[in-house]
A and B are shown apart, each in its own frame.
Chain A
């Protein structure tokens, strides 16, 4: 199920992950202290629709339980 980047970003704040807008390019950065940066495809800014394949990779990278993440995303 795709989700809007603004909704994902708001949820990620609860995991200590912040969205950083770039100075160039269409990818934004997700940052969490102690973790490596993870790029976000934001071709339409915060209105970008993000697909399931990306969300699962995001969960893997930041070691988030995907079911829990989706549950929070839907609520």
Chain B
């Protein structure tokens, strides 16, 4: 989990990079959620889970674009400290698929992990136009006090 998973895409010109996101209600801002891209150690925030997810998508895209335009590989950024990876593991261990959570339980969701997927060309001379952040392949949520095992992840 220390590095983004990479798989060669259909074209030799690009790779798909998956990065993990940990989302939680902000402890100090009512109604605000924080989103933390663990692989790149980027944090942002937004209104609710949906707003935070949109915000981290934009933040990751911005960082990838800027790093590439400066000739740097965004995937060499340091990842988040171990404590956040432990929180991620806790959600995966005790969480359930996000879409399986009843509407009545949504207010009790304490953390969500999701995956962002973006494509990038293999070659160093990179064109930001190649970048596209794709929909989340999976999302898992942990409800407060829940110890149930996910049916899939």
Contacts and interface: CB of A to CB of B under 8 A. Distances in A.
Contacts of B41: 57, 60-61
Nearest to B76: A36
B109 interface: no
Nearest to B72: A36
Contacts of B66: 29, 36-37
A54 B58 contact: no
B43 A27 contact: no
Contact of A27 (B26, B36, B44, B47): B44
B129 interface: no
A27 B29 contact: no
A50 to B, nearest CB: 7
B81 interface: yes
Interface string A18-60: 0000100111010000001111010100000111111011101
Given A36-B77, A53-B34, A27 B55 contact: yes
A38 B66 CA distance: 10
Chain B facing A: main interface SS: mixed
- How many A residues are at the interface, by size bracket? 20 to 34
A26 B67 CA distance: 18
A66 interface: no
Contacts of B82: none
A26 B66 CA distance: 15
Contacts of A58: 43
Contacts of B46: 41, 43
Given A41-B46, A50-B45, A29 B28 contact: no
A1 B45 CA distance: 14
Given A52-B27, A60-B81, A41 B45 contact: yes
Contact of A51 (B28, B42, B63, B77): B28
A48 B149 CA distance: 38
Given A36-B67, A36-B70, A41-B59, 20 more contacts: A2-B26, A26-B55, A26-B58, A27-B44, A27-B55, A27-B59, A27-B62, A29-B62, A36-B66, A36-B72, A38-B42, A38-B63, A39-B63, A41-B46, A41-B55, A49-B29, A51-B27, A51-B28, A53-B34, A54-B45
